A and B are shown apart, each in its own frame.
Chain A
Amino acid sequence: MATRTTGAPEQVEQARELVEMSWDPITRIIGNLGIYTKIDFKNREVVECKSTSSLFRGYSVFMKGKDPRDAHFITSRICGICGDNHAVCSIYAQNMAYGVKPPPLAEWIINLGEAAEYMFDHTLFQDNLVFVDYCEQMVKETNPGLLRTAETTEAPNAGIHGYRTIADIMRAFNPFSGELYRQALQVSRITREMCCLMEGRHVHPSTLYPGGVGTVATPQVFTDYLSRLLNVLDFVKKAVPMNDDIFEFFYAALPGYEEVGRRRVMLGCWGSFQDPDAVDYQYKNMNDWGRKMFVTPGIVLDGELRTTNLVDINLGMRILLGSSYYEDWQSEETFVSHDPLGNPVDQRHPWNQTTLPKPQKRELDGGNYSWVMSPRWFDSRTGDHLALDTGGGPLARLWSTALAGLVDTGTVRATGHSVEINLPKSREFGEMQLEWQIPRWANTIERNRARAYFVAYAAAMAVHFVEQAMGEVRAGRTKVFSDFDVPDEAIGCGFHEAVRGVLSHHMVIRDGKIANYHPYPPTPWNASPRDMYGTPGPYEDAVQGLPIFEENGPDNFRGIDIMRTVRSFDPCLPCGVHMYLGGGKVLKQVHSPTFGTGVSG
């Protein structure tokens, strides 16, 4: 709910009448995100925006001293919706540290589980949470004129999805009662089952380990997965054209809507779905096997692909402070001075970060105001610290994959300017080809549209992965894990895509225990506050300068355009900061250490 924090409008030097409006917490997301804005209602524009998080968790603090083999089980608990992404990313980092390469079948099983996760999470978020902002009830409250237009606008793809007008689509979005809303809940159940078949459990996998998986690869496991996938394909084939219809309608009915949530194209994607033929988890070969991933890692800058090299991506990472509740770690220990290729590693790189929390009062005017730090990517060509965003995940993934033009599995082909997605025949529909074209803008609508296409991408990839996995099983190659020993000293890094964007885990092992561990999920990138150079984070940047299309005035302002923009990034604050300082009463304390911990180790 919007809160108006100042009674009288504030006068600034340009004689603009600014009204402070805040939404804290923003609902329909996980965690405590607050958006504080100054709005010029006369000129219908958001003038200033600050994004804050009041949630601190401390993973990088309490991971120290743990057994590195527990890392994926512990870090999976960072998130209650994409925990398996964290587990997988941690496993990638551990594989590098232990020098182990899992058998091919294990990689296909992890890819299948992650594909199911993308389908599950994107469907749940898009259809049950994002579309509430585009549903009949909401549009009636915020833009009644737009709803009247929607009632008389035919949906171009009605022949596929069955909704005659745009307003019919909006009615299907209505929470709890809308047809699509309820169908999406069913789909998210089926896709969760698919994830469980491969990873044992959702959302904290029980059968994924460094070195492989514990999933017993029987033909039945894969046919159970495939039969569910074919049901999901029917839903996907309807959903993508319907998403196109609703978003094209917004562009047409509200001229200028492309400016909502628009920011410079600065997208980061860390790659997803390993290719077992290429990946050996060795840092020195990371550029080669990174480029073979089935979602190409890359940094897209102003529409051009800046790099696809994971080593460059890794070395460019900088964790800045500026508006966050932490003390600087510049004078703390340097854990990794050079990477295994001999390149220097910055003190602000996650490998060398020491988290020193400093709780304090929130000061939105020139002070510190968030528990989120400010991750940036250092562009060595320009010397800029770029506030990359993930485009909610899919926008960056599709953009980077499309431009790189490396992926070609038959079911998915990157063309250099688009991504072709070929979906096989399913129960209701024949074969269908979908093509995601690189959009003209990185804005709210395109972030949301890409999400629908990425569900199709993950489904098409899953078809390929099932075929590959079945090929291994039919050849009798059922090995799913490789042995390894935990070294006394090692470093590792894992790069993956959480559902809502870039995910990296950086680990330093000393004396067989974790000496330093830093997970960097997508939301620290997206929700970051102003850094030491004054650069705003992506939410702030996307909302500042946002034109207001809502028909309500200041008195009953819902802030729908701002909400649509923030939600288009798929915000997930438990990702954002990783303390509980309350003096609670301990009712019962049970400590069950690993066998033999009484003996000094």
Chain B
Amino acid sequence: MTKKPSSLRIGRRDTRPDSPSHVKGVKEGNATGNYEKMDGHLPDGRSTAGRSTGINPRKHDPIDPDMPNLSPA
């Protein structure tokens, strides 16, 4: 970060302004390709019970395949 000239007297900083920014190499939740890796999220934007539970998720899907699959939160 370049320091901007100012007549303002300020104290010595004890951390870099960009300390809380992202560190290269650390995984990012928003990164492209993560959606496909998550259970229960289908490519067409729909979802299955797999997004809500990992225990026998198929048993929690609707009995009629034409019904919308609305898993609980």
Q: Answer yes or no: A381 CB below 8 A from chain B CBs.
A: no
Q: Which single residue of chain A is at the shortest CB-CB distance from B68?
A: A476
Known A-B contacts A473-B68, A591-B15; the reply to A483 vs B34 at CB < 8 A is: yes
Please state if A477 and B45 are interface contacts (CB–CB under 8 Å): yes
Our pick among A67, A216, A359 for the contact of B22 (Cβ within 8 Å) is A67
Interface stretch, picked from A281-289, A350-358, A520-528, is: A350-358
Give the residues in chain B near A209, CB-CB below 8 Å.
30
Q: Answer yes or no: B6 CB below 8 A from chain A CBs.
A: yes
Q: Answer yes or no: B56 CB below 8 A from chain A CBs.
A: no
Please state if A66 and B21 are interface contacts (CB–CB under 8 Å): yes
Q: Answer yes or no: B55 CB below 8 A from chain A CBs.
A: no
Give the residues in chain A near B69, CB-CB below 8 Å.
476, 478
Give the residues in chain B near A216, CB-CB below 8 Å.
73
Q: Nearest Cβ in chain A — how far from B17, in angstroms?
A: 3
Contact with A along B18-42 (1 / 0, CB 8 A): 1111111110101111110000010
Known A-B contacts A359-B8, A473-B68; the reply to A65 vs B1 at CB < 8 A is: yes
Q: Answer yes or no: B46 CB below 8 A from chain A CBs.
A: yes
Please state if A354 and B4 are interface contacts (CB–CB under 8 Å): yes
Please state if A327 and B6 are interface contacts (CB–CB under 8 Å): yes
Please state if B46 and A594 are interface contacts (CB–CB under 8 Å): no
Our pick among B7, B23, B35 for the contact of A594 (Cβ within 8 Å) is B23
Q: Nearest Cβ in chain A — how far from B12, in angstroms?
A: 13
Interface size on A, residues (CB 8 A): 46
Give the residues in chain B near A596, CB-CB below 8 Å.
23, 25-26
Q: Answer yes or no: A479 CB below 8 A from chain B CBs.
A: yes
Which among B15, B20, B26 has the greatest number of chain A C-beta atoms within 10 A?
B20
Q: Answer yes or no: B54 CB below 8 A from chain A CBs.
A: no
Q: Answer yes or no: A3 CB below 8 A from chain B CBs.
A: no
Please state if A473 and B70 are interface contacts (CB–CB under 8 Å): yes
Which A residues, 454 to 489, have Cβ-Cβ distances below 8 Å to chain B? 473-479, 481-486
The majority secondary structure among interface residues of chain B is loop
Which A residues, 15 to 51, have Cβ-Cβ distances below 8 Å to chain B? none
Q: Answer yes or no: A597 CB below 8 A from chain B CBs.
A: yes
Please state if B21 and A479 are interface contacts (CB–CB under 8 Å): no
Give the residues in chain B near A589, CB-CB below 8 Å.
14
Contact with A along B43-64 (1 / 0, CB 8 A): 0111100000000000000000
Please state if A358 and B8 are interface contacts (CB–CB under 8 Å): yes
Please, how many angstroms separate the alpha-carbon atoms of A473 and B45 in the complex?
Answer: 11
Q: Answer yes or no: A64 CB below 8 A from chain B CBs.
A: yes
Please, how many angstroms separate the alpha-carbon atoms of A218 and B5 in the complex?
Answer: 53
Please state if B70 and A356 are interface contacts (CB–CB under 8 Å): no
Known A-B contacts A476-B68, A479-B45; the reply to A66 vs B4 at CB < 8 A is: no
Please state if A65 and B17 are interface contacts (CB–CB under 8 Å): yes
Please, how many angstroms separate the alpha-carbon atoms of A484 and B45 in the complex?
Answer: 16
Please state if B19 and A593 are interface contacts (CB–CB under 8 Å): yes
Please state if B70 and A478 are interface contacts (CB–CB under 8 Å): yes
Known A-B contacts A211-B30, A485-B32, A591-B15; the reply to A478 vs B45 at CB < 8 A is: yes
Q: Which single residue of chain A is at the shortest CB-CB distance from B37?
A: A483
Please state if B18 and A513 are interface contacts (CB–CB under 8 Å): yes
Q: Which single residue of chain A is at the shortest CB-CB distance from B62?
A: A476
Please state if A65 and B46 are interface contacts (CB–CB under 8 Å): no
Give the residues in chain A near B45, CB-CB below 8 Å.
103, 477-479
Contact with B along A182-211 (1 / 0, CB 8 A): 000000000000000000000000000111
Q: Answer yes or no: A156 CB below 8 A from chain B CBs.
A: no
Please state if A597 and B20 are interface contacts (CB–CB under 8 Å): yes
Please state if B6 and A356 are interface contacts (CB–CB under 8 Å): yes
Known A-B contacts A218-B70, A473-B70, A474-B68; the reply to A597 vs B30 at CB < 8 A is: no
Give the residues in chain A near B47, CB-CB below 8 Å.
476, 478-479
Contact with B along A209-227 (1 / 0, CB 8 A): 1110000101101000000
Q: Answer yes or no: A362 CB below 8 A from chain B CBs.
A: no
Q: Nearest Cβ in chain B — how far from A210, in angstroms?
A: 7
Q: Nearest Cβ in chain A — how far from B6, in angstroms?
A: 5
Q: Nearest Cβ in chain B — how far from A325, in angstroms?
A: 10
Give the residues in chain A near B23, CB-CB below 8 Å.
594-597, 599, 601
Please, how many angstroms separate the alpha-carbon atoms of A103 and B73 in the complex?
Answer: 18
Q: Nearest Cβ in chain B — how far from A69, in angstroms?
A: 7
Q: Answer yes or no: A70 CB below 8 A from chain B CBs.
A: yes
Can you list 21 A-B contacts with CB-CB less than 8 angstroms, sorted by A residue number?
A69-B30, A211-B30, A218-B72, A327-B6, A327-B7, A354-B4, A358-B6, A474-B68, A476-B68, A478-B70, A479-B47, A481-B35, A483-B31, A483-B33, A483-B35, A484-B32, A513-B18, A591-B15, A595-B23, A596-B23, A596-B26
